Structure 1
């Protein structure tokens, strides 16, 4: 069931949602509210990711777009209930002066007694928890890789980090960190030097180098590689190198001293996969925070 509302209000939207759920006869069962702040250029990609993640986390998904016009304050909305969606989908378009009051529009639409998560897929505020919509959330997700300047975005947000903040650049490293942690636990060898090879200006590589610096207590060299994303990580020990080297989009070569080289799965993950992982938790990520603070300290001039 799809309902279009023009020049409407949050109260009318809430009433339409209730009527829609009665009409399609679906039970609630929604576990969270996902607020997405995006623009028209990325709307379809973001909407697809939200719908895919909702299969694992039935949600009320509210997509907020700010329409850059000189119209009077106006709210237009589109509502989908049923239609193969395990939850509700609400698209809000804020016009004119209403663009400065997104929190007031969204607040009445949040599910009660359940977490609220805000996701900025591309550009995002520097101080997420102080942002009007960000202040509504238990957890706030950004993606520095989608910013015009990924490195600057990491540094700015690290300077205003609050519990509940995270970034999909960090989520992209889950498998890399698991492989490297397993290698370090397996060898128990002191690391004497380390390097991360990646595409230039790669935000995940910056976080990976920061995480390794914190864990190993040494400077991690950054080098540019020929492939997209993180290409290779090498941790040197007195008995040889621990290395993980990507050879294509799904496979890497993994080696530790004294063991034969072997292939391991290291698939490049889709946006729905990344979002689904992040929606599994609502608590603070202390390891991510430590990595971001290292990024702060290592940046020119700090944060």
Structure 2
């Protein structure tokens, strides 16, 4: 059932929700939270579809906030609120209200959303695109216990991670982090099987994929080892290689669906590691409403620190080339200048002896003649 409201108010929207529930005979019970989606017109359909699919696991009231910014100065001063109320089969297992804001009301979206929140229920705000740099200080983000962003949708995803770390507040999370949950589970299980010491790690994936960076930062933060970031053509994450005291551990996923786990001394086995859609990611995030301390620790590790740690060699690693270079520098020679060929020790020692024998041979006849 759909109810369209033009030039409406929050009070009228609440009355429409009550009428819709009475019409289909469904009371407002069983909804566990309010999900607020802040998006634009282009991404509203896909975001709402993902939220409706996730509502099968988490029945909720979904409020879609679409800010319609007009280019005309005249329209900017005209405030208007249009709403589309959906109940029943049109809204999954919950209720949906699509809010379109025009004019000055765009800057006061929180005043529109606040009267529509479910009483005594947690609030989750999700920005599929164009997330604020500091979600906790956003007027809508301040209403929520959990704030979900997606750095993969940013123009510069890796730089966006640094901004997220600087502005992190307990309750923030990122779908780029949610995407690597199966990878983290599989790698942790592999290390539990072997019981070894990890010496170095290599994470391979697309160049501008924040999930790859977050996985590398998580491994570096938890294992305290150098983590190298390798590039591939994707899709997404493609491989993780760990150098351990018991041999290499490799988790390789070349096709984006089926991965191969290889552990030294064990047969390689195939594991399901498919790329999940947005509905599955949102459903996972709605399962927990407490702060994600593991995400916060990995995020604060930092991309720059990850690159610096990967460039530093181990303290006990000194190659033969480095030793030769140090010796050449001590002699005052460059590494490209050939060393002078040393004189053989035996020949150098024999040379003074030969000269002394020649002098003795010349003096011997003169001594004999004097004796006669």
TM > 0.5: yes
Deviation at 1:151, TM superposition (A): 1.1
Aligned to 2:10: 10
Aligned 8 A contact 1:214 1:291 in 2: yes
C-alpha separation in 2, matches of 1:267 and 1:299: 27
| 2:82 is equivalent to residue 81 of structure 1 | no
Higher helix share: 2
Q: CA deviation at 1:88?
A: 0.7
- Ranges in structure 1 where 5+ consecutive residues have no aligned partner: none
1:57 corresponds to which residue? 58
Query: How far did 1:299 drift?
Result: 7.5
Tell me the residue number matched to 1:196: 203
Indicate the residue corresponding to 1:30 in structure 2. Answer: 31
Say if 2:217 and 2:303, in contact at 8 Å, map to a contact too: no
Q: Would you say the 8 A contact 1:206–1:295 is kept in 2? A: no
Runs of 4+ with >6 A deviation: none
Preserved contact between residue 81 and residue 102 of structure 2 (Cα < 8 Å): yes
Instruction: Give yes or no for the alignment of 1:162 onto 2:163.
Output: no
Q: Are the aligned partners of 1:155 and 1:299 in contact in 2 as well (CA < 8 Å)?
A: no
**What are the within-5 Å matches in structure 2 for residues 65-104 of structure 1?**
65-69=66-70, 70=72, 71=75, 72-84=78-90, 85-104=92-111
Cα deviation 1:77-105 (Å, max 9, x = unaligned): 10101125211100001111111101111
SS in 1 for 2:65: strand
Equivalent of 1:117, from 112, 124, 131?
A: 124
Which residue number corresponds to residue 248 of structure 1?
255
Match of 2:350 in 1: none
Q: Name the counterpart of 1:138.
A: 145
Contact residue 252 and residue 264 of structure 1 kept, 8 A:
yes
Report the alpha carbon displacement of residue 25 of structure 1 after superposing the two structures with TM.
0.7
Q: Does 1:238 align with 2:231?
A: no
Q: SS in structure 2 opposite 1:83?
A: helix
2:276 aligned partner = 269
Q: State the distance in 1 between where 2:58 and 2:291 align.
A: 19
- Ranked by relative contact order (alpha carbons within 8 Å, sequence separation 6 or more), the top structure is 1
More strand by share: 1
Q: What's the offset of the Cα at 1:156?
A: 0.8
SS of 1:22's partner is helix
In structure 1, the residue matched to 2:115 is: 108
- Distance in 2 of aligned mates of 1:98 and 1:247: 48
Please report how far the alpha carbon of residue 255 of structure 1 lies from its aligned counterpart in structure 2 after TM superposition.
1.3
RMSD: 1.5
Contact 1:65-1:94 at 8 Å conserved across structures: yes
CA distance in 1, matches of 2:116, 2:230: 47
DSSP 3-state at the match of 1:161: coil
Structure 2 CA distance, aligned partners of 1:20 and 1:191?
59
SS at 2:302's partner residue?
helix
Report whether the alignment pairs 1:288 with 2:289. Answer: no
SS of 1:228's partner is coil
Deviation at 1:226, TM superposition (A): 2.1
Paired residue secondary structure (2:251): strand
Post-superposition shift, 1:122? 1.6
Q: 1-side partners of 2:201 and 2:256: how far apart? A: 23
TM-score, structure 1 length as denominator? 0.96
Counterparts of 2:209 and 2:175, CA distance in 1? 12
